[in-house]
Amino acid sequence: MRRFEDRIVMITGAAHGIGLGIAERLAGEGAAVAVADVDAAAGERAAVRLAAGGTQAVAVTCDVTSGESVAAAVAAVVARFGRLDVLVNNAGGGLNLPDLDELTDDDWHRQIDVTLMGVVRCVRAATPHLTRSPHGGNVVTVGSINGLAPFGSVAYSAAKAGLRNLTENLASRCAADGVRFNLVAPGTIRTRAWDDQPDSLDRIASTIPLGRIGRPDDIAAAVAFLASGDAAWITGVTLPVDGGALLNAGRVFRDSAARTR
């Protein structure tokens, strides 16, 4: 399929993991891709990798905790390609934070800054350009099933939960301007963050109805659908991509809580 022919796509956090998987998928469907990442060297490597496959690709340094950095990154993409059609908000992972009773105000602010406010900054900078897209602007944000059910990691989960409401509000507000907003909520995905925790992945896989840990390409497929014309009449939705993990959310949370007592 070439659903993204003549589409300009900017993906935050695209140098590694889920973001890179999304970049590869959209590039394979014809998109010109801007790899936006705080890791400039890794972003350059990812862009070179995409370009080797025949894709128009550029790396832009983007720190989503800085409004100036985000604005500069969006401006660089528009200067390079002439416009922006699709924004994928992928940057914003979980920080290594303590449990609730030990969380400081600063811990909360840091998590919300990168996960929730990072998306706000990107949307704020990109929306004026998305409204001018000849194809209709599109925003897909990568959230988490942690924002939909009690899986623990309270600060991370609360920040991800905010993304759902933000997406719904933006979808309503920007529909008249032809810009769609949707959210993909991944379950556990095999990325480098889990490299030193194979036993944990095995345990998690045993709780997932479809019997395996997710892969970046599982999320990339969902993002590609929501960002494409196939979803032209879909806006404001949250799509869990979790192998059925939400079906067992209550039991998983209770088991996890019991192990920490």
Residues designated as active site = 156, 160
Closest CA to 23 of 224, 197, 240: 224
Do residues 186 and 156 touch, judged by C-beta distance below 8 A?
A: no
The values of phi and psi at residue 34, to 5°, are: -105, 115
Q: Could you tell me the two tokens for 229? A: 């014309």
Q: At what angle do helices 118-130 and 67-81 cross, to 10 degrees?
A: 30
In whole angstroms, what is the distance from residue 146 CA to residue 149 CA? 6
In whole angstroms, what is the distance from residue 252 CA to residue 33 CA? 38
The values of phi and psi at residue 218, to 5°, are: -65, -40
Residue whose pair of structure tokens reads 């979790």 in the numeric block:
242
Closest CA to 50 of 38, 67, 33, 69: 33
Q: Could you tell me the two tokens for 5? A: 């022919």
Beta strand 57-61 with 180-186 is: unpaired
> Across-strand partners of 93?
none
**What residues contact residue 76 under an 8 Å CB cut-off, 6+ apart?**
34, 58, 60
Q: Can you say how many angstroms the Cα of residue 123 is from the centroid of all Cα atoms in its chain? A: 13
Task: Give the containing element (helix H, strand E) for 107.
Answer: helix 105-112
